[in-house]
């Protein structure tokens, strides 16, 4: 039963585990200046070989490159052609990058690598442009080209890791981040990316240790606390997970999802009052309320058959100002209310709610099933049969309705009729417990016939 409470974990993890967007300035993104626009290189395997005419033109534009980008672009662009050096396409693409025109920058950088496929700096600049544009999948080849051409460094491995992580290629991302940390072990971006990869590849102990390092660097980072909590939950270290999320709660940095997870953790520990408190707090602190945000905690309590606690949760919802909405009129919420009322012994309230649902939606299978159960509990067998037969005509609940009819007939002493319904239910949805029950009923019927003979 305890495992049921943690199906929300995947929701929380999905919400939080995203590729850590890197701070490009911290890992060597070009900003202009120095040799950013330089075309002087002795290594002609990865840099264009310039003619004397190329060098003369370069000397003409060089004074503008770091002082007047717009003027440099205006002077450079008309001079470029299919025959001009790849180096000038690279310079123009780089100038456009500095101006923030990533799309146009890519056009010229691609021309540069078409002219010279081994132009390493052009591949690097393409990777940066695509990363800035959020085109991480396309940037993977750029960074692999940079590394293959001997440019493996913190930037290229780090952004390759980021690109792989954004595509959910966790193992490849992990290896890239490990290489990046050889060049810069203290980078928060690399630690964060690596920790996420460790978490997603099941290496949770290592992830927890790395989040400890990250939290020393940034103790108020809610994402780190919650991701570490997810790792604790996966390792069944629930008390430590609770401690993490409660710390966030004290800092007022919890959201709906993390409060529901906290309620789930308390629920699994049997701390039901605390679970209800956190579930209610999740609803009260939601940015906006919808059906899911109200129903999820309530369904958790019902799954554990904690009807008193569910009743308290509903009562608190009713008493809280400002959280009512369309969800309160919806069928699913009303079904929960009816079920809780019935389990608490308030049959008239439950019946009233259920009949309202059926009046609005005559094919509400769940409402008809509950009405059948209610009538059975209040010793109105014929009415129970009526509602259950209606439910049996609805595909979604047919197997459950036939099972309920079978049990009802058995309890009424009509074993042959009960066996017929139980067999039909089993044919639609075989279940071991129902098979065992059916076998016992058959045995009783056989004994009864034996006595008569």
Residue 392: C-alpha distances to residues 285, 379, 427 (Å): 41, 20, 14
Could you give the CA distance from residue 13 to residue 231 in angstroms, rounded to a whole number?
10
Q: What is the pLDDT of residue 453?
A: 58
For the domain spanning 31-149, the CATH number is: 1.25.40.10
Residue 271 dihedral angles phi and psi, to the nearest 5°: -90, 75
Residue 11: C-alpha distances to residues 14, 129, 245 (Å): 5, 32, 16
> Do the domains spanning 31-149 and 363-453 agree at the CATH topology level?
yes
Percent residues over pLDDT 90 in the chain? 72
Give which of 399, 325, 386 is closest to 355, Cα–Cα: 386
Residue 309: C-alpha distances to residues 196, 279, 306, 318, 337 (Å): 36, 11, 5, 14, 12
* Residues of the chain predicted below pLDDT 70: 1-42, 287-291, 320-326, 452-453
Could you give the CA distance from residue 108 to residue 86 in angstroms, rounded to a whole number?
9
Quote the tokens at residue 156.
């290229």
Q: Tokens 């007939």 — which residue?
A: 409
Q: Evaluate whether 276 touches 264 at the Cβ level (below 8 Å).
A: no
Q: What is the pLDDT of residue 31?
A: 42
Q: What is the pLDDT of residue 405?
A: 97
Could you give the CA distance from residue 75 to residue 60 in angstroms, rounded to a whole number?
9
Give which of 403, 396, 398 is closest to 431, Cα–Cα: 403
Give which of 18, 21, 12, 20 is closest to 248, Cα–Cα: 12
Question: 74 Cβ partners below 8 Å, 6+ apart?
Answer: none
Domain extents for the chain?
Answer: 31-149, 363-453
For the domain spanning 363-453, the CATH number is: 1.25.40.10
> Mean pLDDT across the chain, nearest whole number?
88
């Amino acid at each position: 039963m305890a495992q049921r409470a943690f199906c929300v974990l995947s929701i929380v993890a999905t919400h939080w585990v995203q590729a850590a967007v890197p701070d490009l300035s911290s890992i060597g993104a070009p900003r202009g200046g120095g040799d950013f626009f330089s075309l002087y290189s002795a290594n002609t395997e990865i840099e264009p070989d310039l003619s004397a005419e190329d060098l003369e033109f370069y000397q003409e534009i060089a004074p503008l490159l770091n002082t007047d980008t717009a003027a440099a672009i205006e002077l450079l662009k008309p001079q470029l052609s299919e025959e001009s050096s790849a180096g000038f396409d690279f310079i123009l693409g780089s100038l456009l990058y500095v101006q923030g025109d990533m799309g146009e920058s890519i056009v010229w950088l691609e021309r540069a690598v078409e002219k010279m496929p081994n132009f390493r700096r052009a591949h690097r600049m393409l990777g940066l442009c695509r990363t800035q544009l959020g085109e991480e999948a396309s940037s993977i080849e750029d960074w692999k080209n940079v590394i293959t051409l001997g440019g493996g460094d913190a930037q290229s491995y780090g952004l390759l890791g980021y690109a792989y992580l954004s595509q959910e290629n966790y193992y490849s991302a992990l290896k890239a981040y490990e290489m990046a940390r050889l060049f810069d072990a203290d980078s928060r971006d690399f630690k964060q990316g690596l920790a996420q990869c460790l978490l997603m590849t099941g290496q949770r102990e290592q992830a927890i240790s790395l989040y400890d390092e990250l939290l020393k660097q940034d103790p108020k980072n809610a994402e780190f606390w919650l991701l570490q909590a997810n790792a604790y939950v996966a390792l069944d270290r629930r008390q430590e997970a609770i401690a993490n999320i409660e710390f966030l709660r004290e800092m007022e940095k919890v959201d709906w999802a993390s409060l529901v997870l906290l309620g789930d953790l308390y629920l699994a520990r049997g701390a039901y009052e605390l679970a209800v408190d956190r579930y209610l707090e999740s609803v009260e602190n939601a940015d906006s309320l919808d059906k899911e945000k109200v129903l999820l905690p309530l369904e958790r309590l019902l799954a554990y058959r904690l009807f008193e606690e569910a009743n308290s949760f509903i009562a608190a919802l009713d008493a809280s100002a400002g959280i009512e909405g369309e969800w309160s009129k919806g069928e699913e919420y009303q079904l929960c209310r009816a079920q809780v009322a019935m389990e608490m012994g308030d049959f008239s309230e439950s019946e009233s709610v259920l009949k309202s649902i059926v009046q609005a939606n005559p094919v509400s299978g769940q409402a008809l099933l509950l009405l059948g159960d209610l009538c059975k509990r209040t010793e109105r067998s014929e009415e129970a049969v009526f509602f259950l037969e209606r439910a049996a005509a609805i595909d979604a609940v047919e197997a459950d309705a036939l099972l309920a009819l079978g049990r009802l007939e058995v309890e009424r002493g009509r074993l042959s009729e009960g066996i017929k319904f139980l067999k039909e239910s089993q044919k639609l949805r075989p279940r071991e417990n129902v098979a065992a029950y059916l076998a016992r009923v058959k045995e009783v019927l056989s004994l009864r016939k034996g006595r008569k003979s």
